[in-house]
Amino acid sequence: MRKYTIVHPLFMSYYSGSLYQDVGRNWKGYCFAYLMLLLSLCLIPETFKIHAALSDFIDSEAPKFVSQTPTITISKGKASVPLKAPYFINYPDKTGPFAVIDTTGRFTSLDTTTATMLLTGTKLFIRKGPAEIRSFDLSPVDDLVIDQKLIYSWIRIIRDWSVFVFYPFVLFFTFLLQVVQVFMCALSGTLFAKRFKVDLNYQALVRLAAVSFTPAVVLQAAHSLLDIDFPHSSFISFLIATGYLYYAVGMVSEEENEINHRNTEKG
């Protein structure tokens, strides 16, 4: 029967041998739920830090492009602008256009330009990568006027809500990476188990490794919160977790020795 809940390691994993003994023996099926809880809390500072950097970038860079954008009218699937076409929206700091607006038929695809976007009379093309271009037909658009005021409102929505969209993706991919590190750390635990001559299968070592990462993950979160550089953080965190795993296996071994000693005395 479990002695501790998945909340206890958040503050007990730094020092408690009793916690690691409970995790090693009784925490079957709970280690990844705990890992998700740990990361969901510790990624909050990093996520808001990234969001702040993205917001600063949008606030400083977006006006350079929006200020060049003319009013675009789309009526019954046909786009038009009150300027001579083709019209180019250029990068502020390098040669070459960012976007081309051409309703004359001179540009019909992005193959003939280095631009990232192309708006023709009936289609919008977006370059997703060196070999991938997406096209969108304007025919479903019956009546739409895109001016700078509307674009800025879209930008504000993206800036303000991106953190809520971004956070689940960061959590998911960080969790996958952390699981890989836990499995790798648990492999070193097999050597520790032999060193202490304790009967721990690989599943138990995975549970112990997951909890052993707590101090390292919290340390990374603290650096992010305080905006302090943490060079080679992944490698150092892995070493810290391995050290705690060594301690954890030792504690489980100590418990096993005490049980064997009591059984011997009773016998």
pLDDT at res. 46: 84
> 133 and 213: one domain?
no
Considering the domain architecture, whether residues 106 and 43 belong to the same structural domain is answered as: no
Q: Are residues 171 and 252 in the same domain?
A: yes
Would you place residue 143 in the very low, low, confident or very high pLDDT band (cuts 50, 70, 90)? very high
Q: What pLDDT is recorded for position 266?
A: 65
Check residue 261 and give its pLDDT: 61
CA distances from 85 to 6, 105, 108, 120, 244 (A): 63, 9, 13, 10, 66
Residue 265, pLDDT score:
64
- Indicate if the pLDDT at residue 233 is higher than 60: yes
- Statement: residue 152 has pLDDT above 60: yes
φ and ψ of 30, to 5 deg: -110, -10
Q: Which of 256, 148, 108 is nearest to 196 (CA)?
A: 256
**62 domain residue, yes or no:** no
- Whether 122 is in a domain gets the answer yes
pLDDT of 220 reads 92
Residue 166 pLDDT = 84
Q: How many domains does the chain have?
A: 2
pLDDT at site 92: 84
Q: Are residues 191 and 232 in the same domain?
A: yes
Last residue of a domain, one of 114, 146, 178: 146
Task: Note the pLDDT of residue 260.
Answer: 65
pLDDT digits (tens, 9 = 90+) for 187-228: 999 999 999 999 899 999 999 999 999 999 999 999 888 888
What is the pLDDT at residue 2? 84
Asked if residue 170 and residue 249 are part of one domain, the reply reads: yes
Give the range of the structural domain holding residue 94, as residue numbers without chain letter.
72-146
Question: Are 220 and 163 part of one and the same domain?
Answer: yes
What average pLDDT does the chain have? 90
Please give the pLDDT value at position 221: 92
Same domain as 235, residue 173? yes
Q: At residue 13, does pLDDT exceed 60?
A: yes
Confidence of residue 267 (pLDDT cuts 50, 70, 90): low
Tokens 């600063």 correspond to what residue?
56
Question: Could you tell me if residue 153 is inside a domain?
Answer: no
Asked whether residue 259 carries a pLDDT value surpassing 80, the answer given is no
Q: Are residues 226 and 139 in the same domain?
A: no
> Domain boundary at 80, 115, 146, which?
146
Out of 146, 175, 207, a domain closes at 146
Residue 266 located in a structural domain: no
In a domain, residue 8? The reply is no
When comparing pLDDT for 170 and 263, which is higher?
170
Give the mean model confidence (pLDDT) for residues 120-146: 91
Q: What percent of the chain has pLDDT over 70?
A: 97
Q: Which residues contact 106 (CB under 8 A, 6 or more apart)?
A: 85, 86
Whether residue 28 lies inside any domain: the answer is yes
Q: SS3 of 118, please?
A: strand
Domain identity same for 47 and 20:
yes
Confidence tier at 19 by pLDDT (50, 70, 90): very high
**Residue range 109-113: mean pLDDT, rounded:** 87
Residue 136 and residue 110 share a domain? yes
Residue 5 in any domain: the answer is: no
Task: Give yes or no: residues 83 and 106 share one domain.
Answer: yes
Q: Which of 28-37, 68-77, 250-259 has the lowest mean pLDDT?
A: 250-259
Alpha helices per DSSP H over 27-147: 31-66
The C-alpha atoms of residue 118 and residue 89 are separated, in whole angstroms, by 10
